[in-house]
Amino acid sequence: MSGPSAPEIPVVAGAAEMRRLPIYGPRVFRRIYQGFFLLLFVFTLVLMTDEGIHRFPVRWLFHLDPLAALSVLASSWVLPVAFLWSLALVALTVVFGRAFCGWLCPVGTIHQIVSWATRPMRRGAPSKVNRWRLHFRWKYLVLIALLAVAALGSLQPGLFDPLSLALRSFASGLVPASASALSLEGFRPRIYQWAWLTGAVFIALLAANAWIARWWCRALCPLGALLGWVSRTAIYRIEVDPDRCNHCDRCAADCQGADEPFGRHKVSECHVCLNCISVCPEEAIAYRAFAPAAAPAGGVDLPRRKILGAALTGMALLPLFRASAGSVSSPAPGAIRPPGALAEAEFLARCLRCGACGNACPTGAIQPSVGETGIEGLWTPVVVPRRGWCEPSCVLCGQVCPSGAIRPLTPDEKGWTRPEGYGVRIGTAFMDRGRCLPWGMDTPCIVCQEVCPTVPKAIRLEEAVVTLRDGKQVRLQRPIVDPNRCVGCGLCEAKCPVTDLAAIRVTRAGESRSPESAFLLVSREGV
C-alpha cells in the first residue's frame, strides 16, 4: 500500500530514518509518473474528437501495449506498423522489470489508489497477509488461454487487456453513469446500452482490492502476466542483502506486487514500486543491475499440465463461439458494424474491444454489443440507430481504432455526402408499413424522407389519397426506401417519430463490406 506517509513505520528519530526523507525517495517519482499517466489516460478519453485526434496521439494507449500487439498478430497474422511501439515497452521491461505496472499503467494506478483507500478493510497484519498466493498464477493461465483463442482467430484478449478494459469501462460505463448522475450538461451526455454491466465489471474488480491489494494486477491481468514473463530476464532487480536483513518483514507490508522481496523474490511479480527500499529500516534492499543469485528463480512455477489445460481451454472456446450462431456464421440484423469495418471474421480478429470508437462517435451511435453479435462479439462495436445515427461526413471511428479493425476512411471514401455516390454501406433501412404513420395510420409524416442525407435521397415519396373514417379525403405522401441508394446511416430511424420501435429500421442487410451478403444485384452494364 502506498500513501503519502506510511503510518506503520515507527517514528523514531534515528540516522536511518532521517535519510529516508520522502522528497528524495524514488517513490515520489513513481507517484508522479503514475499520476501523469493517469492524467494522460483521462486526456485520451476526452480528446477522442475530430480536433482532439490531431492534437494528441489518442491511440498511444494500445500501440504501447505488447499484449494488444501480440494478440492482433496472433489472430490476424498482420501487425499494423504503429504497434511496433510496444517493443519499447518490452525493452523497458527487459531492462527494468515490470516497471510499467508500477509506474505507468493507469489501471494499476487506479487499483493502487483504491487499495490504499480500502486499507482499513483488509484484515490481518499487512506484513503477514500481503504475501504471494498460489492463485496469483491465474493470470498466466488466463494469458495462455487468451493467446490460444487469439491464435485461432478471435481477439478475446481484447476483453481482458487492462487498457482495453479501462477504456471501455470508463467510456461506455462509468463516465456516462457519472455524467448522468451529476447531470452534467454539454459533457457529451451519453447512453450506452449495457453500461451498467460494463461499469459493474470494473467496479467489481476494484472491489476485490478490499480483500487483497491490487488483486487484478496480481491475479488476473494478462498484460501483467506477459510483462511478468518477460521480466524474468530483467536486468535491474530488487536485491536483499542477507547480512543486513533482520527479518522484520516490513518490506512485505507495503509490497505492491506481493513478490516477497525478503524470501525467494519473484521478479515476475515485482511491480518495481520500490516501497520495500524506502521502508526497510536496515537499508538492506537495493534495486540494482545484475543483482546476483540472491534472486535466482525469477518467476513463478507453473506445472506443465496447467499450461496445457489453459491452452486447450482457450482453443476450445473458438469452435464453441462459432457454433453458437454468432456474427460470423449467422449474424443478427442488429449487428450493424461501423463504416469502414473489415469483413466480419477479420473484424473479430482485429477488434480489441477497447471501446475507443464508441467513445469517439459524436452521435453515440456506436454501442457495445452484448448479444447482437453473439458471445464471440461481446463488447465489439455495433451501430444502434435508435441511440444515434452515423453522421454522414464523420470518419472518427476509423481514425481512433488502434488496430485497424475499422479502416480509417476519408469522408470521400465513405461517400455519403458525395452526390450520386456512396462508397461504403453499413446496412439498409426497411420500412415497417404497419407502424409508419402515412402507411398504416392515415397520418401525414415525412420525417424520414426529410432527414435522409444521400444525394439524391434514398427515400422517395409516393402520393396516395385516402378516405378517413369521418369521410374526409386526405392526400398522403408515403415514403418508400430505394435500396440502391440507402447507405444505412440510420438518420431515418433515429428521427422517426414513432418513439419506441421506429417505423423505419436499419438492419445490416446490404452492407458493402461483405459483397456476397448484399441482397441486391448491381449490374455493371447499368441495366
Partner 1 sequence: MKHRPDRRLVLRRLGQAGLVLGGSSVVASLGLFSRGRWAGKHEAAVIPRYFLPAETGFPAAVVARGGSPAALARAAVERVGGMGRFVRRGETVLVKPNMAWDRTPEQGANTHPEIVAEVVRLCREAGAGRVVVADVPVHDARRTAARSGIEEAARAAGAEFFIPVTAGFTLASLGGSILDRWEVFDPVLKADRLINLPIVKDHGLSRLTCGMKNLYGVLGGTRGRLHQNIHISIADLASAFRPTLTVVDATRVMLRGGPQGGRLEDLLPVGAVAAGTDMVALDAWGATLLGIDPKEIDHIVLARGRGLGTFGTPLEEIHVGT
Partner 2 sequence: MPQNRQFRWLKSLLLAAPLACLVAWLIVGGVKGSFSPDLSPSPGAEKSAPPRLPAASPPSVLTGFPPPEGDYPADRLFERVDGAADALIAAGCGRILFWRMEDPAAEMELLIFDRASGAAGILARDVGPGRDPGPGEEASVTDQSVFFRRGRFYVRILGDPAANPGRGRLLDLAGRADRGLPASEIQTSSANPARQEISP
Residues that bind partner 2 (CB under 8 A): 24, 26, 29, 32-33, 36, 40, 53-59, 76, 78, 80-82, 327-333, 342-346, 350, 399-400, 403-404, 407-408, 410, 430-435, 439-442, 466-467, 508-509, 513-517, 519
The answer to whether residue 341 forms part of the interface with partner 1 (CB under 8 A) is: no
CA atoms within 13 A on the CB side of 136: 25
Stretch in the footprint of partner 1 (CB under 8 A) among 19-27, 83-91, 421-429, 494-502: 83-91
Taking the chain, what is the end-to-end CA distance rounded to the nearest angstrom? 73
Residue 46: C-alpha distances to residues 35, 42, 167, 380 (Å): 17, 6, 11, 20
Q: How far is the CB of 122 from partner 2 (least distance, A)?
A: 30
- CA dist., res. 370 & res. 381, Å (int): 9
Residue whose CB is less far from partner 2, 403 or 449: 403
Sign of CA dihedral 391, 395, 400, 403: positive
Whose CA is closest to 80, among 63, 57, 59?
Answer: 63
By C-alpha distance, which of 233, 218, 62 is closest to 140?
A: 218
> Does 525 sit near partner 1 (CB under 8 A)?
yes
Min dist CB 381 to partner 2, Å, is: 16
Among 293, 304, 465, 472, binds partner 1 (CB under 8 A): 293
Residue 345 binds partner 1 (CB under 8 A): yes
Supply the minimum distance, in Å, between the C-beta of residue 210 and partner 2.
31
Residue from 239, 259, 269, 372 binding partner 1 (CB under 8 A)? 239
For the bound state, the minimum distance from the C-beta of residue 493 to partner 1, rounded and expressed in Å, comes to 24
For the chain, how many residues are written? 527
Q: Strand pairing of 285-289 and 236-240?
A: antiparallel
Instruction: Please identify, using beta-carbon distances, which residue of 118 and 514 lies nearer to partner 2.
Output: 514
Nearest distance from C-beta of residue 66 to partner 1, angstroms: 7
Q: Which stretch binds partner 1 (CB under 8 A): 112-120, 291-299, 422-430, 458-466?
A: 291-299
196 is in the binding site of which of partner 1, partner 2, none (Cβ under 5 to 8 A by kind)? none
Residues 6 or more apart in contact with residue 346 via CB below 8 angstroms: 76, 405
Closest separation in Å from C-beta 235 to partner 1:
6
Q: Which residue, 442 or 482, has its beta carbon nearer to partner 1?
A: 482
- Nearer to partner 2 by Cβ, of 199 and 404: the residue is 404
Shortest spacing between CB 207 and partner 2, in angstroms: 31
What is the Cα–Cα distance from 146 to 395, expressed in whole angstroms? 31
CA angle 299, 304, 305 (to 5 degrees): 135
The reply to whether 29 sits near partner 1 by the rule CB under 8 A is: no
> Please, which residue, 76 or 130, has the CB nearer to partner 2?
76
What residues are paired with 341 via a beta bridge? 406
| Cα–Cα dist 441/476, whole Å | 11
Residue ranges in 122-161 that form contacts with partner 1 under rule CB under 8 A: 153
- Asked if 69 is part of the footprint of partner 1 (rule: CB under 8 A), the reply reads yes
Which residues make beta-bridge pairs with 240?
285
Q: Which does 291 bind (CB under 5 to 8 A by kind): partner 2, partner 1, none?
A: partner 1
Q: Which does 66 bind (CB under 5 to 8 A by kind): partner 2, partner 1, none?
A: partner 1
Residue ranges of E strands in 366-450: 366-368, 381-383, 428-431
What single-letter amino acid sits at 513? R
Residue 290 touches which of partner 2, partner 1, none (Cβ within 5-8 Å per kind): partner 1
In whole angstroms, give the CA distance from residue 164 to residue 352: 7
Q: Cα separation of 459 and 481, whole Å?
A: 4
Reference 134, options 313, 303, 261; nearest CA is 303
- Say which residue the cell 451511435 belongs to: 365
What is the rounded distance in angstroms from the CA atom of residue 279 to the CA atom of residue 253? 9
Q: Which stretch binds partner 1 (CB under 8 A): 63-71, 194-202, 352-360, 441-449?
A: 63-71
Cα separation, 60 vs 45, in Å, equals: 12
245 binds partner 1 (CB under 8 A): no
Side-chain half-sphere CA neighbours of 490 within 13 A: 26
Indicate the SS3 state at residue 478. strand
Residue 344 interacts with which of partner 1, partner 2, none, CB < 5 to 8 Å by class? partner 2
Window of 70-78, 132-140, 194-202, 417-425 that interacts with partner 1 by CB under 8 A: 70-78
The residue range among 22-30, 89-97, 333-341, 364-372 that interacts with partner 1, by the rule CB under 8 A, is 89-97
Find which of partner 1, partner 2, none residue 356 binds, CB within 5 to 8 Å per kind: none
Q: Which residue, 175 or 396, is less far from partner 2 as judged by CB?
A: 396
Residue 526 backbone class (left: φ over 0; alpha: ψ -120 to 50; beta: rest): left
Of 40, 67, 63, whose CA–CA distance to 403 is shortest? Answer: 63
Footprint on this chain of partner 1 (rule: CB under 8 A): 66, 69-70, 73, 75-79, 81, 83-84, 86-87, 90-91, 94-95, 153, 230, 232-235, 239, 241, 244, 286, 288-293, 343, 345-346, 349, 515-525, 527
